[in-house]
Amino acid sequence: MRESIKNRIDAVRRGEVPEGYRTERAMLFPNEWGDPVPLNTVLTENKDRNEDLHFGKEDVLSVSGEQGIINQIDLLGRSYAGESVAAYHIVETGDVVYTKSPLKENPYGIIKQNHGVPGIVSTLYAVYHCNSPITGQYLENYFSIDTCLNNYLKPLVKRGAKNDMKVNNEDVLLGRIPLPSLQEQERINEIIAQFDRALELKKKLLEEKRRQKQWLMQKLLDPSSGVRLPGFERSEWIETPLSDLCEFVGGGTPDTSNDEYWHGTIPWISSADLQEGNIRCINATRYITEEAVNNSATKICPENSILIVSRVGVGKIAIAPTALCTSQDFINLVDVKGNLYFVTLQLQREIQRILSMSQGTSIKGIASKEIKAMVIELPARDEQDTIANVLESSDREITLIETEIKAWQQKKKAIMQLLLTGLARVNA
């Protein structure tokens, strides 16, 4: 990082305005950018309606905080359009769309540019033409920073009794933002796009690695698949009762009104603390005391126990990374014989098989006696270990790529903050 940029950042951290910069309504920007401009100088409302029904329900667009403007069927799996789409707004490629639906991080809605094909949106959206596609992309980048978006919309938007947005489409354009020259906007867009392309490649690689892992699991965990690892082509798999492999421990919830039972040091897990499909992920948020364990149905499960959600959130399964307790929605396997990772994956497959047989019905849970009566197919221990090593190696590759994606996302966020405030200038 250049020394001049570092000095500006240090000044901002001290609560100072760097030399050559100014602030207006909590916005920091270079003096060279001139006065902030109203959005109605670069955007005009697109009032075109789908009156001739040129677009159908299959052309309805949604606005997503993560994916931007995307076909509603591609995003949600179906169209949620009303009986008629004649009154829907037409969205051209390059148009900017404001959705008046609050999100957790954006309580006044979000603003995105349409990079895809033309389509239509409901009357809950406002659609704008931009005088330059470069500025349209710059605005999307600018408003992708939560503080920039929320600070811009907050003075303009009123909240209704039903938490709906009370703002006229034209009034959305009355706010002002600092804009660099068109040439600098274009250069900033290009730099951010480089990060987007790198992230897209990483995400595609991640999806490919996940598909490979799924294929490996389908083949290596099923002895009838015809795929065997070298050296184990003729080995036998034996149907083994789960009760031969472990002991069973239930869970419970200590009295939530007794403060002496909570805020202790023993993790207490509910179904919400497990991540679907990730047997290594447990996010403990609550902790209990030894007194709570002694005076409730919950029991301490040692490290490397297998935790199975049998009621609320049925089907989730995880390996305990440390000693912990669970709610009554779990049945837990302790002192597990065999390769822990392999046994857990086989249990996961068996539970999913049971759940898939009940598709179309409301599943409230799997009875503990049904879990205890499960039978899973197991090869010899050395084959279990070899298969587990292959699959865990795949897991490590996936985790590494996920970590890289998070790092790139943080880098992108940091560089956007610098570029869109002008703390880092680019050669236009």
Dihedral (CA of 81, 82, 86, 88) sign: negative
Q: How many whole angstroms separate alpha carbon 93 and alpha carbon 167? A: 24
pLDDT for 161? 65
First to last CA, the chain: 19
Query: Fold for domain 238-378?
Result: Adenine-n6-DNA-methyltransferase TaqI; Chain A, domain 2 (3.90.220)
pLDDT for 362? 58
pLDDT for 103? 87
Residue 281 Cα distances to 73, 237, 252, angstroms: 31, 29, 21
- Identical topology for domains 37-177 and 238-378: yes
pTM assigned to the model: 0.82
Say yes or no: domain 37-177 is CATH 3.90.220.
yes
Q: How many whole angstroms separate alpha carbon 374 and alpha carbon 363? A: 18
Query: Fold for domain 180-234+379-428?
Result: Helix Hairpins (1.10.287)
pLDDT for 276? 86
pLDDT for 354? 83
Domain ranges of the chain: 1-36, 37-177, 180-234+379-428, 238-378
Q: Give the chain's residues under pLDDT 70.
A: 1, 160-163, 358-364, 427-428
Pairing mode of beta strands 317-319, 306-309: antiparallel
Pairing mode of beta strands 330-334, 317-319: unpaired
**DSSP state, residue 16:** P
Q: How many whole angstroms separate alpha carbon 45 and alpha carbon 48? A: 9
Angle at 160 between CA 158 and CA 161, to 5 degrees: 145
Q: Which amino acid is at 291?
A: E
**DSSP state, residue 18:** P
pLDDT for 1? 66
